[in-house]
Structure 1
Amino acid sequence: MQTEETLHKNDIHLEYKIKNSKGKEISLEWKKETGYKRKYQFREKRNYQVAQQSIFLALLNDYFEIELLPPIKRSNVAIQLLRINRLVHGKDSILFNLVVEHRCNDLFQKDIENGVSIKTAMRRMETYKISEGLHLLIDLLFELGYIFVSRITKGAQGSQRIETVKEIWRNGKIILEKNDIEEIGTKINSYLSNEIKSQSNYTVSRGLNLLKIE
């Protein structure tokens, strides 16, 4: 059996040449995506999560002031999620960051109780922070009458599910589709990220009509 191995920048390509019972040579191929392709897929997924978050905040901004915190570190791989400190409506406020932290700690404890190693549980915490933050925004909007058409992806080896919103409905009408979420959400994230860049925190005043940001 002959083996030809070709290494590309982004792929590992193995080709095995064997002969069948009639003496005819056939090839068996095996490919594995690595490097750039895997990085690209991560970036695309994260960028859509960022766009979703920004759309959710824009919708909630009709009801709440939104207090944002600057990013802890800059990312070169994908655009960054906004750090939400709290949502304020009159004298009432939702300590968003604290609620998400409590949810993530509960999931961490469940992982440990289910036999997940501390190292793996700690690694999952970063994913939990993102998914639980998005879930909390969805929960709040659902209470305000918004309906979501979503695709639910189960996490690997029992980790938390991830919800990807494809459509947003209100009063029986579709108001945002996937392309809208991606395009408008990215613009909103860019606008808010620039606003907070030079400040220790930034409050988005209620009713800014962020969906119309250019």
Structure 2
Amino acid sequence: MQMQSTLYKKIESSVDSIEKSTQSSLKLHTESRIRSDFRNIRNYQVYEQGVMLALLNSMFDITIKQPLKKANVFEQIVRIQSIVVENDVIDIEEFCDQRCKERFALDLKNGVPMKTAKRRIETNRVNEMLFVLADFLTEYSFEFTTKVVNGKKKTLKGETVKKIASGNFVINEREIRTKGKEINKKTLGLLGKQAKVVIPRGTISVF
């Protein structure tokens, strides 16, 4: 009986060890998948920005600045300062910053921890900037086909652009990825190491 009891204990110990190992592996796999999903979403946002930036630059001068921080895990988003529309300078950065401050205050009011609210600022800034660019293009007869990306509880939801169209111009999701990546690289190349640079109308193109 004592031998059987000892054997059972060894088996139980082995089973517990296997379960813990399996749970640990599943947790690591889940965390890795979440990081990969976020990276894919952020990269696609960069490509969306590239395409919209080129479409806007076909009509307006655009000023861009060095990024607040260098991206290491995903593609570098372009920091847009302003767009000149018929001699009026539209401060994109100031508008987005103000919207992020409002969102930050709302998060705190809703009971979101300070650390979490601060962590959301960059994601909110990117979303707000894309909303602004899309709104601009909508005013100039561009139509967007989008899919809502659900955020976590009380976070700002985003929209993934599936297609942009205006007259005979149509660009789909696959082309947004390829063209957007090229445009992003060219745009950052124009900035180089300068603090900021004005991109004259017609400098960058989707084609």
Name the SS for the 1:129 alignment partner.
Answer: helix
Q: 2:191 aligns with which of 186, 191, 196?
A: 196
Name the SS for the 2:145 alignment partner.
Answer: strand
**Structure 1 segment 1-214 matched on structure 2, within 5 A:** 2-3=15-16, 4-5=18-19, 12-13=24-25, 31-32=26-27, 33-34=29-30, 36-171=32-167, 175-212=170-207
Q: What are structure 1's unaligned runs of at least 5 residues?
A: 14-30
Contact 1:167 1:174 in 2 (8 A): no
* Deviates further, 35-44 or 117-126: 35-44
Q: Greater strand percent: which structure?
A: 1
Q: Distance in 2 between matches of 1:73 and 1:104?
A: 17
Q: Which residue of structure 1 aligns with residue 9 of structure 2?
A: none
Q: Distance in 2 between matches of 1:190 and 1:7?
A: 43
- Once the two structures are TM-superposed, the CA of residue 121 in structure 1 deviates from its matched residue by 1.6
- Once the two structures are TM-superposed, the CA of residue 35 in structure 1 deviates from its matched residue by 5.4
Q: Which residue of structure 2 aligns with residue 25 of structure 1?
A: none
Q: Percent identity of the aligned residues? A: 32
Output the amino acid matched with 1:112.
L
Change (3 A) 1:110 1:73: closer
Output the amino acid matched with 1:134.
L
How many equivalent residue pairs?
A: 192
Q: Distance in 2 between matches of 1:78 and 1:117?
A: 26
Name the TM-score, length of structure 2 as normaliser. Answer: 0.84
Name the TM-score, length of structure 1 as normaliser. Answer: 0.82
* Deviates further, 93-102 or 197-206: 197-206
Q: Distance in 2 between matches of 1:127 and 1:208?
A: 28
- Once the two structures are TM-superposed, the CA of residue 135 in structure 1 deviates from its matched residue by 0.6
Q: Distance in 2 between matches of 1:64 and 1:70?
A: 20
Q: Distance in 1 between matches of 2:20 and 2:182?
A: 41
Q: Which has the larger radius of gyration?
A: 2
Q: Which residue of structure 1 aligns with residue 8 of structure 2?
A: none
Q: Distance in 2 between matches of 1:100 and 1:39?
A: 25
Name the SS for the 2:71 alignment partner.
Answer: coil
Aligned-residue RMSD, C-alpha: 2.1
Q: Distance in 2 between matches of 1:159 and 1:35?
A: 20
Higher relative CO (Cα under 8 Å, sequence separation at least 6) belongs to: 2
Name the SS for the 1:198 alignment partner.
Answer: coil
Q: Which residue of structure 1 aligns with residue 6 of structure 2?
A: none
Q: Greater helix percent: which structure?
A: 2
- Once the two structures are TM-superposed, the CA of residue 119 in structure 1 deviates from its matched residue by 2.1
